[in-house]
Structure 1
Amino acid sequence: MRIATSALAVALAAGMSIPAAAQEEKGPLQVKLLGTAVLVDGKITDVRTDTVGLPANTQTSANNNVVPTVAIEYFFNDNLSLETICCVTQHDVDGVTGLPGAELVSDARLIPATFTLKYHINTDGGIKPYVGAGPAYFIFFDEDPGAATVALGVTDFDLSDELGFALQAGVDIPVGKNGASVSLDAKRYFIDTDATWSIGGAPVIETTHKLDPWVLSAGIAYRF
């Protein structure tokens, strides 16, 4: 992560040195409409509370999801931009060992609030690869205990909102000369969450889960 941050700092310095004439070639705002695959890990990395006696080898996995995404990007110049994304993705968490097939988390909804500072590489053909990095804050809501835990008497469930980091790479491929592009994008997040299952307000299972999703997107962009 330190290497990626240093590389981004170099890109920032290079982007600030672009002549003003080059910065004014296009409008500063770009909007992208994307189809996005969210590929989440979900495995347990720590068990802090277990009063129900989980099997010693219990491990979990979260399901993947495909959702529509909107990305809004502001260009400081033709090489340097700041991007944020808007989407809501939904995931279940099931047992894979110890409790194979058991539904532990049902329909957890996630907003991956993300800002990335991006450096775009100019090429003679107009195709613009880019790299980026920035903070991400995962906000969970409407999460419910899975059927397997409800059968144990669980009445409440919570996933903690958490701050993490994202790395990004992609390419914008111009289509014509009206500011439209085809966009391909990949992000890798580094973030965990704490899960708490409770009975009558008292925690009976508390675990930490590695999320670290790959977020892969493709769609269209328009800069104006």
Structure 2
Amino acid sequence: MKFRNAALSAAFAAKLVTFAPSVAAQEAGDVQVRAFVTGVLPDGEITDVVVDTIGVPVGTQTEASDSVVPTIAAEYFIANNFSIETICCVTPHDVNGTGAIAGVELIDNAIILPATVTAKYHFDLGGIKPYVGAGPAYFFIFSENVGSGAPALGINDVDLSDEFGVALQAGVDFDLNDNGLMLSLDAKRYFIGTTATFSDNNGILLQTEHDLDPWVLSAGLGIRF
């Protein structure tokens, strides 16, 4: 009886293998393109006050607004399970006061282009492929406008500096078929700051250093070919 049960189990397992879809490995020369819905969750906290001629109140702090945008990630496998990835997106953010100036809009609609390149290692677990990565980033920040609350402080111009930083990354791809279609979940944490310069017609009124350090969380579909 034990022999018969073992034989039946072996036959059933063979059937499962026969009908299971084949899953392509990630090999040198492969290209992956993924389309995401992405949440960008920055900090925006003041870490240092460089210039203050307007006497901002003690306890003044700031925060940057979150943003949800479409993004594209493209990567090339330079070796089996090892790829280089870049992303394409822009994200709009406001900067608002907290603490002593809670609710005051200081910066309106700053646009960030997060130029990022990461080196990624993929773990091949069959239909599930987790990965980790890291790489340099450069934030181009443009189109920032004076917020609605800034003129009350005498401010009529604002600038956020472009900066270098580092991104750490982790995620997972779930193969949906044997033709390279996948469901992807991705998380990045950037370590990067900016300098905010608030001015009037006569020069700098306030200059502050800020941590941006955003979490960037994405979910979407991809294709490997």
TM-score band (shorter)? Answer: 0.7 to 0.9
Scaled by the length of structure 1, what TM-score is found? 0.87
Mapping for residues 20-59 of structure 1, pairs under 5 Å: 28-59=30-61
Deviations 1:111-141 (A, max 9, x none): 0100000000111x32110000000000001
Counterparts of 1:136 and 1:185 in 2: how far apart (Å)? 17
Report the equivalent of 1:96: 98
Secondary structure at the counterpart of residue 206 of structure 1: strand
CA contact (8 A) 1:26 1:223 kept: no
Measure how far apart 1:155 and its partner are: 1.9
Instruction: Specify which of 80, 84, 87 is matched with residue 86 of structure 2.
Output: 84
Is it true that 1:219 corresponds to 2:199 in the alignment? no
Cα 1:52–1:117 change in 2 (3 A) is same
Task: Tell me the amino acid that sits aligned with residue 66 of structure 1.
Answer: V
RMSD of the alignment, in Å? Answer: 1.5
Cα distance change of structure 1 residues 72 and 135 upon mapping to structure 2, 3 Å threshold: same
In our comparison, the structure showing a higher alpha carbon Rg is 2
Q: Which amino acid aligns with 2:52?
A: D
TM-score by length of structure 2 reads 0.86
Aligned amino acid, residue 158 of structure 1: D
Q: What percent identity do the matched residue pairs reach?
A: 57
**Tell me, what secondary structure is at the counterpart of 2:153?**
coil
* 2:29–2:76 CA contact under 8 A, matched in 1: no
| Residue in structure 1 matched with residue 131 of structure 2 by the alignment | 130
**Is 1:153 aligned to residue 154 of structure 2?**
yes
Contact preservation (8 Å) 1:30, 1:221? yes
Matched residue type, 2:189:
R
- CA shift, 1:77, in A, is 2.4
- How far did 1:56 drift? 1.2
Q: Which runs of 5+ in 2 are unaligned?
A: 1-23
Once the two structures are TM-superposed, the CA of residue 154 in structure 1 deviates from its matched residue by 1.7
- Report if the CA contact (8 A) 1:23-1:76 is conserved: no
3-state SS, counterpart of residue 150 of structure 2: helix
Whichever residue aligns with residue 154 of structure 1, its letter is I
1:6-31 CA distances to partner (integer Å, 9 max, x unpaired)?
xxxxxxxxxxxxxxxx9885852111
CA distance in 2, matches of 1:23, 1:174: 10
| In structure 2, distance between residues paired with 1:34 and 1:202 | 42
The alignment partner of 1:76 has SS state of: strand
Which residue does 2:206 correspond to in 1?
Answer: 205
Task: Tell me how far 1:53 sits from its aligned partner.
Answer: 1.1
Contact 2:27 2:81 in 1 (8 A): no
Change (3 A) 1:68 1:201: farther
Letter in 1 for 2:221: I
Structure 1 segments, 4+ long, off by >6 Å, are: none
Given that residues 35 and 73 in structure 2 are in contact (C-alpha distance below 8 angstroms), is that contact kept between their aligned partners in structure 1? yes
Q: Distance in 1 between matches of 2:28 and 2:132?
A: 20
- Cα deviation, residue 153, structure 1: 2.9
